[in-house]
A and B are shown apart, each in its own frame.
Chain A
Amino acid sequence: MVNTYRGLDRDEEEFVDILEDKRHCSDLSFAFRTFSPPPYKGAPTCSSTELNQAVLESQYLRYVIQEVAVETGSSVEEVRDKVCRILQEMSQNLQLRFIRLMGFTVRKVFKRLFSAIYVNMKGVSALQQATQEFPVILMPNHRSYIDFLVVSYILFSYDIPVPVIAAGIPLAGMKIVGEILRRSGAFFIRRAIGSDKLYWAVLSEYVQTIVRRGFVPLEFFVEGFRSRTLKSLPPKLGMMHMILEPFFKGQVYDVTLLPISISYDRVLEESLLAHELLGVPKPRESTMALLKASKVLQENYGRMHVNFGRPLSVRQLCEGKINRCQYNLIPRDLPQKPSGEAQACGSWLAHMMVRLQEEGALISPWSLMACTLLQVPTTVLTEEGLLFHQLTEQTLWLRKLALDFGAHLSWPEKVPDSDVMSSTLALHRSVVYHKAGRVYLVREDEDERKYSVIPEEEMMRTAAAFLMLASYRNQCLHVFVRPALLALAMSITKSTQRDELLTCFCFLQEVFSNEFVFIPGRFSQDFEEACSLLKNCKAVHVSQWEVAVSDTGLEVLSFLQELLKPFIDSYQLMFRFLCEERDCVFREKEFLSAVRTLATKLIASGELHTYESLSSDMQKNVLSMLQRLGAVTKLEISENTEYKVNKSAVRRIGDMLAGRIPPQIVQAAPDARL
């Protein structure tokens, strides 16, 4: 199973710096290069007006408009007008002129921001081939706003049809920029569509029409949002399903999915994201904000790696997973809820795509260093400083472990390790600095930003730095998470029995499935993978019935356990909070701020060691996990969503996580995310 989705050859792929050869030719002549992508075999291209027309006149929308008109009591014309407006707000207007303009600007910006943009050429040529055959869906991970532009830019450079891109509606609101994005192929989707049936229908038909026509690749972020924590997010399934449906219904022969892993040495939005996690509201996307942000242009963000995965055939992947005959007895245009089978298939594929993005990601030296730094006591980093050679030693040890676990590293070759270390530290001087053989954490200068809203500013500044570190650590967590869960299971159960460990492992996956991405229904394969990885690095002995620590394994295991400690600690903190709270009913906002207050107090008193419990992302994850496991129920009372806690259930989960009672596989409610 592992092999079927492991898209990349393990041998080193050739990455080419696309800025390198272009530095010699002028930006202008780049923008005006002849752009002649090979044509799509299936059908001729169609303009965005034709596309909109086709959507508007589709049988499916005609049905939905009728339905909505009946339900709302308005006339068909009114509903149709509404559809037109939605479509107008949504639709892209891809024009080659604007691609050229975009190419010109992006190139200028990129050259300033990045020292190199590495792209795997094999992947690019496979993509070029694929775009001629079947509809192609580009699925990059989403870590930065830059992601929007970089794929189109690369495709433009290599004569591949430039994609239309699903983007969040706030971008459309930006003056001029919104329009430029629209004309560069972006189409805009509202956030929180909820149960707006008409909107869903228009979006679905729009996306499906693009897939059915197939002449242009469709790009979307399966994670749904930019990851605030640089960790992969569990995929959103609505869009995924829209893309699969034309295949399920036989309207296209096949759909090609192409995972793209974009890895940044340093993310432009690093500090913004950390502050967002601490509760500082995200600045609204506006053109003014963009201009103000031009300050970031003055800094260096190191290298970017764009790894195009192997094109995957949906037809092949879904073989045996979906019975396409299920669509035979009802007109395919009729609005229908996807069947359980179709939903499961979409969910499985979406999760797999995220895993493929993870596997294609290149781990930077900095990410490994962040792992190491986070395992050092807080005071060492803030006060006395960590010895540089100690950091180097630890990082190199970790590098070996990561390679053993099959990670791709972007560790520069033919450069002495100490140079790599110090240049990495230099690149990340916003987080750490290197002075007299020791490494210290930077705490933000008070003058630079004003966050007077939040009390205990001192702590917040440290917290921001730690959350940035944690985010960079998160970039490589997927490499370690499966063996780490096994290591954790070993320490929780204090057992060597395979079946006991498997049960605990499953429990942990269930608990942390909002935190890390696991492909549904693959518990036991993941367990086997974890066993064999730990066995390969000689940390455990594996036999038919047992998994036991080896003599030399303690170092690896304790590192892995330590890696997950911030998560365990934060989760336990929140469990404690929920159990100790007098009231059984609370609102999400109240919960977030109360937990934050409690965590702040405990960190200050030295009782809690991780700043990650302050992260709103983690707090939300705990809530949805508890909800999934039935320990918290959502009460829909008017506009305010309230939650009701089942304290004993929460306590039980906490106890199982602490090893006080043996873990059981908790029966989760079926995944209702769509």
Chain B
Amino acid sequence: MASNSSGDGSSRHQIARHRLSVIAGHLQRPADSNAAVLAVDCKSQGSQPNVNTGDRGEGRTIPRRRQEIMKWNGWGYSDSRFLFNKKGQAEFTGKRYRLSGMIIPGLKDWMEGTFGASLQHKTQATPVLNTSAVQPPTLNEAFVKELKSTGIPFSHEAEDRVFRAHGHCLHEIFALREGKIGRVPDMVVWPNCHNDVVKIVELACKHNVCLIPYGGGTSVSSALECPPEETRSIVSLDTSQMNRILWIDEKNLTAHVESGIVGQDLERLLNESGYCTGHEPDSMEFSSLGGWVATRASGMKKNIYGNIEDLVVHVKMVTPRGVIEKSCQVPRMSTGPDIHHFILGSEGTLGVVTEVTIKIRPMPEYQKYGSVVFPNFEQGVACLREVARQRCAPASIRLMDNEQFKFGHALKPQVSSIFTSFLDGLKKFYITKFKGFDPNRLCVATLLFEGDREKVLQHEKQVYDIAAKLGGLAAGEDNGQRGYMLTFVIAYLRDLGMDYYVIGESFETSVPWDRVLDICRNVKARIVRECKDKGVQFPPLSTCRVTQTYDAGACVYFYFAFNYRGLSDPVHVHEQVEHAAREEILANGGSLSHHHGVGKLRKEWMRETVSNVGMGMLKSVKDYVDPNNIFGNRNLL
């Protein structure tokens, strides 16, 4: 690793090593199993990547054949899942996560109590993909022939194709569990580098083949769904093998990276050099750099590092018209509308992002979780508002509502010592009895501080002081960390729910500060009302959290889930409820999306969101860049 020539070079190395161990301490599974009670982190262990000898890019997580390590009809790694063991206790399998191998005693009661679900009523997902249910590929022979001659790997195996035909919307996963397969790509190609992509796009244009870029496959906007009306051969362009860091510029603190790299690999590889991007969307284990750019992703720690549009310095995208990029790597320029903004959020409709220059930062020396309990959600929001006003938000600050607080609580792993459980009891007593917080109203803010140790401690004090003024009580690191864990395991939990007739989804919005409370209340109430009207037998889980703070507003994230027993078409009901919830969001001054994107799921609201002229602008760009609709996923417009 290149370093400064100055004398403190070795001490810097030492510090970096120390930081690494601190971070690793937070992220990795400790050898001492007792310590697991105190701190449970979320992301899978980065230090154990699947080494796939067949593929290029040693030490990368995602192999060409994703099915080797990942579920074909659920979230994440095949070896990691929730299940109820013979004793009826919830358990998380595998070895990858902190929670792996642990018993979660509270989950069963929570599921039964919240959804009226029962362990007796189980729905089994189709265990293996029935390849005969997959339509045979429609191949464009001339295209295939020419592609072969380039030597770029490709496949038309059913498994490969099915894997790239979906994201993680509820309806997509639900259909897969039932073994229902709709239109899938006819073929998958794995370019290795920018030039491969140029060749593929040229061939696609030449032979009029539809291309759908595929990064990490974590879309939740139906963006990866093949348009059923598409008659051309559809080729899924999987960037996962373009996963190298091409260079690191330590003088300018940037890194030039291929777009297919997934978040965890990018972070890990940069960490090895003492750097990080700090971009941590909840999907970072699987989502790719190119995907972030194409959807305008947002990371949990954007308060320090910024969202993707703040991080990107340079982008290279291959379009049917050729390659688009800027001529320099500068922090800002005034050269008309920023062409990056045609690329950011283009959702694969204009081309494939191949290489990105991204800002990097030295790894933080110190990281600390924290949490604050508030007597009610209103006071919690007031606190976040004040933190934003004073511009002192920590790396991450989130406010979970009461339902989500209880949800998080239900995910507490088994307590191994009597002392800890006694301590827990004491804390609860203090908050509810001594401080008079109503357990059915209180809510919790989770915090993550990052930086030098001293500054972190100072910062921490500032935030806790604000919280105290607004009626909050510090509630410890453990609660904070568990809050973040929830975001990483929620997708696995959805699979568990689906085993027991519970389906659910998350969605998000951004909203001005003065409307945060109103939108949270109204959308949650709307969900409950719609479920009732649509014949859902049990009240649904309808919960939200404020996940990001900005100067002028916040990002709000909703979860909703319900027990669908007794419904003939649960997916349709689910879609209706989600649709109504989005209408409610828009009526309350929220945005169509903060970071999930539009895809095909939210297309119908684009016009009213960006106005007719806005729509026309986007259309004319599409018409110029891709007149034959080669990038034909039909997202956005």
A interface list, Cβ under 8 A from B? 42, 250-251, 253-254, 323-325, 327-328, 331-333
B514 touches A250 (CB 8 A): no
User: Which residues B494-526 have CB closer than 8 A to chain A?
Assistant: 514-515, 518-519, 521-522, 525-526
Q: How far is the CB of A306 from chain B (nearest CB, A)?
A: 30
Q: How far is the CB of B440 from chain A (nearest CB, A)?
A: 11
Interface size on B, residues (CB 8 A): 13
B521 touches A253 (CB 8 A): yes
Q: How far is the CB of B392 from chain A (nearest CB, A)?
A: 24
| A-B pairs, 6 with minimum CB distance | A324-B587, A250-B588, A328-B589, A253-B525, A250-B518, A253-B522
B588 touches A324 (CB 8 A): yes
What are 14 contact pairs spanning A and B, CB under 8 A? A42-B521, A250-B515, A250-B518, A250-B587, A250-B589, A251-B518, A253-B522, A323-B587, A324-B587, A324-B588, A325-B589, A325-B608, A328-B589, A332-B515
Q: How many A-B residue pairs have CB under 8 A?
A: 27
Q: How far is the CA of A332 from the CA of B588 in the complex (A)?
A: 11
CB neighbours of B608 from chain A (8 A):
325
Does B242 belong to the interface (CB within 8 Å)?
Answer: no
0/1 per residue, B221-232, Cβ < 8 Å to A? 000000000000
Q: How far is the CA of A324 from the CA of B526 in the complex (A)?
A: 15
CB neighbours of A42 from chain B (8 A):
521
Q: How far is the CA of A254 from the CA of B584 in the complex (A)?
A: 12
CB neighbours of A254 from chain B (8 A):
525
User: Which residues B581-632 have CB closer than 8 A to chain A?
Assistant: 586-589, 608
User: Which residues B228-252 have CB closer than 8 A to chain A?
Assistant: none
Name the residue on A nearest B528 (C-beta).
A253
Q: How far is the CA of A640 from the CA of B522 in the complex (A)?
A: 50
CB neighbours of B519 from chain A (8 A):
250
Q: How far is the CB of B544 from chain A (nearest CB, A)?
A: 14
Q: Which of A251, A323, A333 has the most CB of B within 10 A?
A: A251
CB neighbours of B526 from chain A (8 A):
253
B589 touches A331 (CB 8 A): no
Q: How far is the CB of B172 from chain A (nearest CB, A)?
A: 30
Name the residue on B nearest A253 (C-beta).
B525
Q: How far is the CA of A332 from the CA of B589 in the complex (A)?
A: 10
Q: How far is the CB of A520 from chain B (nearest CB, A)?
A: 24
A332 touches B587 (CB 8 A): no
Name the residue on A nearest B518 (C-beta).
A250
Q: How far is the CB of B631 from chain A (nearest CB, A)?
A: 31
B587 touches A331 (CB 8 A): no
Q: Which of A251, A325, A332, A333 contacts B586 (CB 8 A)?
A: A325
Name the residue on A nearest B587 (C-beta).
A324
Name the residue on B nearest A254 (C-beta).
B525
B589 touches A327 (CB 8 A): yes
Name the residue on B nearest A332 (C-beta).
B514
Name the residue on A nearest B586 (C-beta).
A325
A331 touches B518 (CB 8 A): no
CB neighbours of A250 from chain B (8 A):
515, 518-519, 522, 587-589
Name the residue on B nearest A328 (C-beta).
B589
Name the residue on B nearest A247 (C-beta).
B522
CB neighbours of B521 from chain A (8 A):
42, 253
CB neighbours of A253 from chain B (8 A):
521-522, 525-526
CB neighbours of B515 from chain A (8 A):
250, 332
Whether A325 touches B514, Cβ cut-off 8 Å, given contacts A253-B521, A253-B525, is: no
Name the residue on A nearest B441 (C-beta).
A44
0/1 per residue, B117-160, Cβ < 8 Å to A? 00000000000000000000000000000000000000000000
B514 touches A331 (CB 8 A): yes
Q: How far is the CA of A253 from the CA of B520 in the complex (A)?
A: 10
Name the residue on B nearest A331 (C-beta).
B514
CB neighbours of A324 from chain B (8 A):
587-588
Q: How far is the CA of A333 from the CA of B512 in the complex (A)?
A: 13
CB neighbours of A325 from chain B (8 A):
586-587, 589, 608
Q: How far is the CA of A327 from the CA of B588 in the complex (A)?
A: 8
CB neighbours of B586 from chain A (8 A):
325
Q: How far is the CA of A327 from the CA of B589 in the complex (A)?
A: 8
Q: How far is the CB of B6 from chain A (nearest CB, A)?
A: 53
User: Which residues B403-451 have CB closer than 8 A to chain A?
Assistant: none
Name the residue on A nearest B378 (C-beta).
A43
Q: How far is the CB of A50 from chain B (nearest CB, A)?
A: 14
Q: Which of B525, B526, B586 has the most CB of A within 10 A?
A: B525
CB neighbours of A333 from chain B (8 A):
514
Name the residue on A nearest B588 (C-beta).
A250
Q: Which of A250, A254, A325, A327 has the most CB of B within 10 A?
A: A250
Q: How far is the CA of A333 from the CA of B586 in the complex (A)?
A: 19
Q: How far is the CA of A42 from the CA of B376 in the complex (A)?
A: 12
